[in-house]
Amino acid sequence: MSRQTVLIAITLTAVLVAVVTIVSCEREVEPGEGSEPIEETATEGEEELEALDLTPADLYFPSAGGWLRAERREVPSSEAVAEGIVAVVEALLAGPGVAETPASGLYAPLPEGVTVRRVYLAERTAFLDLQSPEGAPPPPSGSRQEILTVYSVVNTVLLNFEEVEQLVLLWNGRQPRTFAGHLDTMRPLSANTDLIARAP
Amino acid sequence: MPSSPNSVRSTHPRRLLLLCVAWLLAGSALAEDEKPEAPVILSTGTASLMVEGRQAANVAYSITPGGPRFALWPIAAVLGVEVRIGPLGDSHTLVFEDRHIIVGPAQASMVTVAPDGRGERKITPLDGAPIRVAGGLMVTLELLERALSDALNYQFAWNPDQQALTVARPELRRLRGSVSLVHQYQVSLVEIRFSEEPRYRVEQSPGALDIRLIGDRLELPIQIPRAGDPLVENIIVAPEGLRLELADNAVAEKPRLLTGPVTRMVIEVFEGRASSEAPGPSPRRVQERAPGIRTIALDPGHGGAETGAIGPAGSAEASLTLLVARALKLQLERRLPVKVVMTRTENVEVTHETRSAISNQNRADLFISLHFNSSFGPQAHGAETYFLSREASDQRAAEVAATENRAAGGETNPEQDLQMILWDLAQSYHLAESQRFANLVQEELNLALGLRDRGVKQAPFRVLMGAKMPAVLVELGFLSNPAEETKLQTPAYRAELVDALVRAVSRFKTQVEARDVVPSDADADSVGTGAAEDPS
Ligand SMILES: [Zn+2]
């Protein structure tokens, strides 16, 4: 809980800094040469953000339309891939940002209270162990919801960390056969970009 | 029980006559959409038949607008292939140990049948038809290649400048291989991996199944799985092929070859059952599963504490699937000549493994898993039909997982993992059929209910992985959509869903059975491939 509060605080700060930077730079943009200065802006912005140890990441949230939609967010960066994954998944579990996309129709993939227990890597496979309060099983659901839940997490990890090709999901330290009775989670999962909504 | 070993030999004349009739029938069927070729012979000559570098014979040839044609008789004689001529002098049958190939004048096709005339009749279209001349049949290079390359691994080349027809036999390939064996869900599964796609034929006899390589050799040694399988007593490997020795109560299905990144052959071995339990009318149908849809496995999704989706009004997926499955069983058995087995009949938890085992043990010809969907938010609605995705067959990935996860302290059962991997592979043989059935199901559901077409989809659904038959998972509507939940609670609405599913099964059954029609030999459906000669 406290971790999430810190995270939100960091995120908001980062966004604020970014917005201020962009706004101040945009004023300097001369009409007619749009693209160049904006690139510079981005660089300046990154420099600012690096000072805060934040890095952009795409979080793939389930949407009401039955797709996954990416939300670009700034999350704490880390040299170690496993730590980076923890940060990104914690941001995902915290749910979509209301400030950026009001009434976005996006959902947190798992119920409140689910946290990251541990992440470890074996070559190019990441093992992500999720933990539920009081050891509750993964939430029951239909297959579409289960697919969106699982690939929300899988895509968010694999599409943000090119060092990792596959993800094994664990739940309270065990590898479940399925989350909700449909999708096989006994094997490493690859990203599924077909589930990502194309239009904004 | 099976045909006697010498029946093939002793009935030659009658069989030959049947084959000729089969060929004539095939010819007349094809004649409608193929204009008979009027052969214009531009020139004739005599070519040297070169076999492995030496001149073996002279062969008459004719040059026609469709390319050269060569006298069949001398070529067959040099290569040691027997040619039998039909009673009318038209049909020519090339006799190989494992097949007969029938060709004839003005027929731009060749017909391949089993030596006893039973089983599938394969018609291969050809670019040019043979021509009948005084000395016999003149055939195209294509026909020689198609007929003789497959069977004997010969390759032909025509050199018009030197008037030479060269026949070469490539060196024997040495294939590496590995064998694994698992027993799960009441079925033993033998998987043989090959370094290259093998040419082979299968000889099935009571108590054994032989896979004999044609023109290839296996590189030994090959590790053989340890004994202890309840259905496969022994696997013997020799350079010429493999032999499975089966337990008394075991029957093997025809091996199937899966090509892809890895070439694998999979053989399913079932427990032979008492005739009273046989799904079809014939208690003799033991050796090979006869084509057709006779037994259908219905799988009501979820059960017990595992509720599946729960609608806002409180409908539980697990209870609704059971209701629909019961109604569907009733309608299927009332309206079609089928038997239905249920993977559960009460609201209890049943593992995916048990569901697969029940379906396999009953040798179901079709597997339908029934579900109701849910999604995030209330909007999603409509039906979806799934079949298994290929991703689920990614063997290496799963192997890595099994090892790494154990190393990392996760709780998995490596034996179980290996078994699942092999089972996924076996299910992948049925994907094409599963997709065909899924299309029919989706079509009928959309038609009946005007449901929005969310289409046919693929996913690595666990309950489909162990099914040894075409298998689909049907999502009949979204319980998370309040309007749809209300409809799904209505028996009349569910009856419409059931009707649509019955129609889909009926159409699939008709399709499968129309395609698998065998020649109308009186006992054609008795014991499968029939090649019952003792290989040793
Ligand atoms: Zn379900």
pLDDT band at A149; cut points 50, 70, 90: very high
Q: If you compute the radius of gyration of chain A from its CA atoms, what whole number of angstroms results?
A: 18
Distance in Å, alpha carbon of A165 to nearest chain B alpha carbon: 10
B276 vs B84, residue with greater confidence: B84
Q: What is the mean pLDDT of residues B506-533?
A: 54
pLDDT band of B201, cuts 50, 70, 90: confident
B100 with B113: CB under 8 angstroms? yes
Statement to judge: residues B84 and B24 lie in one domain: yes
Q: Which of A55-69, B280-294, B495-509 has the lowest mean pLDDT?
A: B280-294
Chain B, 333 to 372: residues with Cβ < 8 Å from chain A are: 352, 371-372
The shortest CB-CB distance from B407 to any of A66, A122, A180 is to: A122
When mean pLDDT is compared across B23-32, B99-108, B111-120, the lowest value belongs to: B23-32
CATH number where B262 lies: 2.60.40.3470
- Alpha-helix residue ranges (DSSP H) falling in B428-481: 431-449, 462-465
Question: What would the pLDDT profile of B126-138 be if each residue is shown by its tens digit?
Answer: 888 888 887 788 8
**Residue B45 and residue B135 in one domain:** yes
- Please indicate, yes or no, whether residues B28 and B82 belong to a single structural domain of this protein: yes
Mean pLDDT, rounded, for B282-298: 64
Per the domain annotation, does B227 fall within a domain? yes
What ipTM was assigned to the predicted interfaces of this complex?
A: 0.73
User: Nearest C-alpha of chain A: how many angstroms from B519?
Assistant: 42
Q: What is the pLDDT of residue B38?
A: 53
A133 vs B: CB within 8 A: no
Is there a single domain that holds both residue B230 and residue B261?
Answer: yes
- Tell me whether residue B58 is in a domain: yes
Residue B399 lies in a domain: yes
Amino acid present at B338: V
- Say whether residue A111 is in contact with chain B using an 8 A CB cutoff: no
What is the rounded CA–CA span in Å between residue B357 and residue B343?
9
Do B316 and B452 reside in the same domain of the chain? yes
**Structural domain ending residue among the three candidates B143, B168, B193:** B168
**Do B186 and B119 belong to one domain?**
no
Of the candidates B183, B202, B231, B230, the one whose C-alpha atom is nearest the C-alpha of residue B415 is B183
DSSP bridge pairs for B435: none
Residues B256 and B300 in one domain: no
B61 and B186 share one domain: no
B387 at the A interface (CB within 8 A)? no
Question: Residues B183, B123: one domain?
Answer: no
Which residues of chain A are within 8 Å of residue B310 when distances are taken between CB atoms? Answer: 140
Domain positions in chain A are 3-48, 55-195
CA distance B62 to B514: 41
Q: Which pTM value belongs to this model?
A: 0.59
Q: What pLDDT score does A103 carry?
A: 59
Residue B257 lies in domain: 173-273
Q: What's the CATH number where B28 sits?
A: 3.30.457.10
Which element (helix H / strand E) includes B405? helix B395-407
Task: Average the pLDDT over A79-95 and give the result.
Answer: 94
**Residues in chain B closer than 8 A to A148 (CB atoms):** 375-376
Last residue of a domain, one of B168, B188, B216: B168
What is the pLDDT averaged over residues B353-366? 89
User: Are the beta carbons of A182 and B309 separated by less than 8 Å?
Assistant: no
Percent of chain B at pLDDT > 70 equals 75
Percent of chain A with pLDDT over 70: 70
Domain stops at, among B168, B201, B225: B168
| Angle, alpha carbons B242-B247-B248 (nearest 5°) | 130
Compare CB distances from B376 to A143, A145, A183 and report the shortest one's residue.
A145
Distance CA B481, CA B18 (A): 61
Q: Are residues B467 and B341 in the same domain?
A: yes
- pLDDT band with cut points at 50, 70 and 90 for residue B99: confident
**Which position has the higher pLDDT, B428 or B36?**
B428
**Residue B80: left (phi > 0), alpha (psi -120 to 50), or beta?**
left
With 70 as the cut, is the pLDDT of residue B64 above it? yes
Looking at CA atoms only, how far is residue A166 from chain B in angstroms?
8
pLDDT at B342 over 60: yes
Say whether pLDDT at B45 is over 60. yes
pLDDT beyond 50 at B11: no
> B248 and B329 share a domain?
no
Provide the CB-side half-sphere exposure for B297 (13 A, CA).
29
Nearest CA in chain B to A104: B377
A142: chain B residues, CB-CB within 8 Å: 308-309, 317, 371-375, 475, 478-480
- For chain B, the domain total comes to 3
In a shared domain, residues B336 and B458: yes
Residue A13 has what pLDDT?
Answer: 47
**Residue A111: closest C-alpha in chain B:** B376
pLDDT at residue A100 greater than cutoff 50: no
The answer to whether position B8 is within a domain reads no
Q: Is the pLDDT of residue B22 over 80?
A: no
Q: What is the mean pLDDT of residues B302-323?
A: 95
Average pLDDT score over residue span B292-308:
94
